[in-house]
Chain A
Amino acid sequence: MTASVPEIGLPGLLPVLLPPFLAGAALLRRLGIRPSEAPYAWPGLAWILGAFLAGLVETSWLAAGGSSRESLGPDLVLLVCAAGLLLGGGPRLGPLLPSENPARGGRVFPAVFLLALALSFLFVLRGTLTPIVVGDEATFWALKAKVLYHAGGWNEAFREEMAEPGFVLQKDYPFWNPLLQLRVFARAGGLTQFENRIPIQLFLPALLCVLAEILRAADSKVLGALGMLAYATTWRFAVHCGDGGGDGMVAAGLTVALLGGFVLGRGDSRGAPLAAFGTACALYAKNEGMLYLLAFAAAATLFLVMRRRGGRKPRPSSLLWVLLPAGLLALHWGTNAWFGFESPWTRHGLGGRFVRQFGENVLPVLAHYLGILTDPRHAALVPLLALLLPPLVLRGRIRESGAAVLWLFLIAAFLGQVCVFIATPADLSWHLETAADRLAFHLSPPSFALAIHLLGARFRDGERRPPVAEKFPRP
């Protein structure tokens, strides 16, 4: 009768973490991004994109009738994919985001980056001390992975177990997070209580690496370094380093898409696949990814409408990358339709509930969001700065600057979150208390990128001060 808890510890996790990382590295090489071309972002990108590939391989494995308790098969498929990507080679295109002002702050930035990264790993280690027992990481994500492992695959047993009301919550959330946890269970040969969180936690240091690459490209490296340190020491970042939920993954996906946007803005073709993979990651991480896709579409449309003269036209090959997030969305919706998983938000009519609850909920939700934006603990007031700065700094040039797209995206995304809370099917105050902070955290990396780049252009390390609008070439 005695049951033992499998523990594989950190060394035992290496075989779980290494194949996705290698696959991510191979994909980056194929895209023309070598470690020397994106020294800060590369390890982070390798993990995020590799974990994305691992999720797709696990999905294919399960869809083909493979066992969820098998670890060797999916790993072999992943390594074969990596080898295939490496065989194709990759172009040499130079630095991803070349620094325009490398003279000052040259030593400060790497030192601060290492400090921030070390802090993030400390937060991760601290997070591994407690078992996954409460909150969304337990009832949404870990439990879904446990049910999948116990059922042995995507079979009738899994369907029956998931159909039980009130057991696994938010069943309609994407499978990426549970599939990464499943890899740990399969390797351990049983249900672990601590280690399965680690692949998810690693998205936070990875996010920091990608954000560092963006902030390093700011005109003021000192401001970039300060911004990075401020981000890594925010209370919310520390919390998510210890969390096995999907919020860190959404933020990481958005940061990769943001890096892609910056690279695209400089006319580099590598930006399109990065933006596509980042968007797909955000969509695969949590349903909020769809909200941000809509927010970006709204921001880009508004920008195109309000700008005065024609901008650079995107290459047709770049547009093909849109198929990646579209395909991912189709996969997510298809899986949910197959298992009959429904979102509690859409079940009883999202639009109708929004209209009915608008009058009652709008003020409390706006007040709560104002509280988050003006709370220094949340993100050091940077999101508020990012919302207020562009019209003040760019003034009349805002219509011509690429920064406007990011600014409009932030406004649309925050408003989208407000709308979601207005239409909540749950108790409003409970929902705001438990979720609004986490959702606002998704938008911290774009807020930091926008605010630091705008301020950096204003308070440049060197003597020459170019017009701020030049910092953000039009897309």
Chain B
Amino acid sequence: MTKPTQGRISNALRWVPALWLLLAGISGIRARLAEAPPARVLSRLLEEGAEARIEGFLQDWGSKAGWDPRWEGRARRMLLRHTGEGARIFLLGEDPWKRQALLDHMAVLLYPRRFWPLAGLPPDWRSRVTAIEEPVFFLELFPDATVPGIETACVKVAEEPGLRLWLVPRSLRSGGGK
């Protein structure tokens, strides 16, 4: 003879795997969404064996919001941690105002590291960077600003020996927030 409560407990327990699956599904969808543009580029870089070249990973806040000092602070700390004083860093990004602003800020804060702003990778980027004896770093700004061909170019940069790539992918876009 079973007690009435036993039936209720076993009924409730049946829901546990269902809830688990539901939650897992939600987290999977969330992860998939989170992977959207940034992780896509990163996965591709990893697949192509470029992980040795990737020394930093910064999360862009999206291009709709104004200037974000916290993002800049993270970029600064990362560059400070991973680059020597003689580093040469290219800033890639389409928006000239943001590029110049970051250039000014970084040039002051991370002196004597030197920065050059570029709207995108120029065709002659290989000859440019090989002319520089010190390690060369690329800090890509705001890929969501649709710099043409930036994704492919990033992979190429990452494969190049002696170069280091800082990838700054866009985050989940929801009104320009983080």
Q: Which residues of A contact B (CB under 8 A)?
A: 1-3, 5, 131-134, 138-139, 142-143, 146-147, 150, 167, 191, 193
Query: Is B104's CB under 8 angstroms from A134's CB?
Result: yes
Query: A2-B81, A3-B84 known; A133 and B111 CB under 8 Å?
Result: no
Check if B83 is an interface residue, CB within 8 A of chain A: yes
Min CB–CB distance B119 → chain A (angstroms): 17
Query: How would residues 92 to 135 of chain B score, 1 for a CB under 8 Å from any chain A CB and 0 otherwise?
Result: 00000000000011011101100000000000000000000000
A133 neighbours in B (Cβ, 8 Å): 105, 108-109
A3 neighbours in B (Cβ, 8 Å): 80-81, 83-85
Pick the 4 closest A-B CB pairs, nearest first. A138-B108, A146-B111, A133-B105, A150-B112
Query: Is A167's CB under 8 angstroms from B107's CB?
Result: yes
Query: Is A139's CB under 8 angstroms from B112's CB?
Result: no
Query: A2-B81, A3-B83 known; A139 and B104 CB under 8 Å?
Result: yes
B111 neighbours in A (Cβ, 8 Å): 143, 146-147, 150, 191
Min CB–CB distance A69 → chain B (angstroms): 13
Count residues of chain B with CB under 8 A from any CB of chain A: 13
7 A-B contact pairs sorted by A residue (CB < 8 Å):
A3-B85, A5-B80, A146-B111, A146-B112, A167-B107, A191-B111, A193-B109
Query: Is B108's CB under 8 angstroms from A139's CB?
Result: yes
A193 neighbours in B (Cβ, 8 Å): 109
Min CB–CB distance A200 → chain B (angstroms): 15
Q: Please give me the residue from chain B that is nearest to A164 by CB atom.
A: B114
> Which residues 117-172 of B sit at the A interface, judged by CB distance below 8 A?
none
Q: Please give me the residue from chain A that is nearest to B82 by CB atom.
A: A1
B108 neighbours in A (Cβ, 8 Å): 132-133, 138-139, 142-143, 146
CA distance A150 to B112 in the complex (A): 7
Query: Is A138's CB under 8 angstroms from B104's CB?
Result: yes
CA distance A142 to B85 in the complex (A): 17
Residue in B80, B107, B108 with the greatest tally of chain A CB atoms within 10 Å: B108
Min CB–CB distance A293 → chain B (angstroms): 31
Q: Please give me the residue from chain B that is nearest to A137 by CB atom.
A: B108
A134 neighbours in B (Cβ, 8 Å): 104-105
Q: Please give me the residue from chain B that is nearest to A3 by CB atom.
A: B80
Q: Please give me the residue from chain A that is nearest to B112 by CB atom.
A: A150
Q: Please give me the residue from chain B that is nearest to A4 by CB atom.
A: B80
CA distance A80 to B85 in the complex (A): 36
Query: Is B83's CB under 8 angstroms from A1's CB?
Result: yes
CA distance A193 to B77 in the complex (A): 12
B81 neighbours in A (Cβ, 8 Å): 2-3
Query: A3-B80, A5-B80 known; A143 and B85 CB under 8 Å?
Result: no
CA distance A230 to B82 in the complex (A): 48
B84 neighbours in A (Cβ, 8 Å): 1, 3
B107 neighbours in A (Cβ, 8 Å): 143, 167
B83 neighbours in A (Cβ, 8 Å): 1, 3
Query: Given A3-B85, A146-B108, 19 more contacts at CB 8 Å?
Result: A1-B83, A1-B84, A3-B80, A3-B83, A5-B80, A132-B108, A132-B109, A134-B104, A134-B105, A138-B104, A138-B105, A139-B104, A143-B107, A143-B108, A146-B112, A147-B111, A150-B111, A191-B111, A193-B109
CA distance A138 to B80 in the complex (A): 18
CA distance A449 to B80 in the complex (A): 48
CA distance A3 to B109 in the complex (A): 13
B109 neighbours in A (Cβ, 8 Å): 131-133, 193
Q: Please give me the residue from chain B that is nearest to A131 by CB atom.
A: B109
> Which residues 46-94 of B sit at the A interface, judged by CB distance below 8 A?
80-85
Q: Please give me the residue from chain A that is nearest to B77 by CB atom.
A: A5
CA distance A142 to B109 in the complex (A): 9
CA distance A150 to B113 in the complex (A): 11
A131 neighbours in B (Cβ, 8 Å): 109
A1 neighbours in B (Cβ, 8 Å): 82-84
CA distance A167 to B107 in the complex (A): 8
CA distance A134 to B83 in the complex (A): 22
CA distance A150 to B104 in the complex (A): 18
CA distance A168 to B107 in the complex (A): 10
Q: Please give me the residue from chain B that is nearest to A1 by CB atom.
A: B84
CA distance A139 to B104 in the complex (A): 8
CA distance A134 to B109 in the complex (A): 10
CA distance A71 to B178 in the complex (A): 44
Min CB–CB distance A266 → chain B (angstroms): 46
CA distance A191 to B107 in the complex (A): 13
CA distance A279 to B62 in the complex (A): 50
